[in-house]
Structure 1
């Protein structure tokens, strides 16, 4: 594992984990800040998973919330209806999301749907599933059983939940690193740079895009249950188009293909958005969204290569 990932990367991960855990202990007495931290880390996990299909492979996927919802609902339903503990059920939830992704991906990639058309197709998937679930299970919220414990991945406090989400985020980062430092990662980056050239040199682009889609959807499906845990309920509203778009935007702002950039952008801008909403949303309705949008625009114009590009630029500047 050390040889594949690298000692410097492992050291950076250890420092990152130490900072997160220290921050969690600092804010542990405040439930609001602890909940915010949990939400930010989970969102970072979603963006990190998206990096595999969007950043490494170059596919503008806007269906993240479809896989999140399918995974979360599947895991919750298995627990409620069959008594399957979520610590096991999350893998079934991830598999359900991956099967949905494969069912969509096979004809999509077979007929060469790509770029903006792929984005429109995946965005439509969220809307379609939202309506299907709204009319099939109704507009109501379905609450999780009143049981707590690690076997249910549902601790009694947001502080304890932090450790579950933190472990999940760490797994997402390691999964990205393993993909990047493998033959699969090499092929995915080749597809991102020029799909036609990749095909001409013998890379099975359809197969490798499908593999990337499967990994991404499985991870988001597993993480989907943690989204349900935060709300303590699930409904058709989990199929949230705005969430899927936000995940893609953060992946782009982080720098396509950059693991650290995607995680950092998710944490920084999600925290900024929540801060603006908390302090301005109730005083000047809409002002928080305006300022948040302006921040994204200014950053995008100033650093079109994302946080990763900004980091590289700052390193070059300090070396002068």
Structure 2
């Protein structure tokens, strides 16, 4: 009995428990245990770790009984190195994730005041597929100057695969249609979404996945589908399942951005009231932040470079169906 409680064997029992507890957690993640179970998911994953660790702890007594002390010491060193390496790797991941999150939580450090843009489709180097077509076999396009009704923001957390439809019958539901293409995303080690497949024509209105920004221009809405522009350069359109995301109508969308700026080609004074003949405000400012959207008018905060409020005023954000402002998500 004394042999069971020698220091090397006690260390072996503890290290087996810890090592296989960690292995159980990784195994649960590998098989997708607890996925889609909400708050119970964490308990399910923890349960895997406890089961693996418990079985290994019991088995370690039998293993230690048949092994020589010298071999047990070698195994102890191997288990200790594996545990420390795993801890070090996870600690590094958490530090990386925290640094990225801190960057996301400090949007005012980014002084770029132009709208978020992307230089090319995320699928520029992927296999080519045919564009979305209507029932006549023609790729539909929108009017380039059409502001649409707002934007569609996919919910990639719940639906990491987004299906594109064409040639639909609006009197029928989503289940009665077959998708013509799809966008498939997954999370990387930092918890940000990255694409594993995307159509080559995909060029949404706004996209910056590492900041959670992804918007299609929404052109229309039905009972089950939302009509969106999938390529802002050529106006190509497709239909998406309305329940796979959130529709942000223009007023809601504008109130979600950080700052706005008047376009150089459409200069306008800042008014004290939402009237063309109202007096102008003379307050100097560095940034404009939206406060209220009322028809074609927007109430804005006038702030300095430190985002301290100086005054409020009214500007037109659109006129005759044309956008008069630019906006920034990050500054």
Same fold by TM (over 0.5)? no
Identify, as 1 or 2, the structure richer in strand: 2
Per the normalisation by structure 1, the TM-score is 0.22
TM-score (structure 2 length as normaliser): 0.22
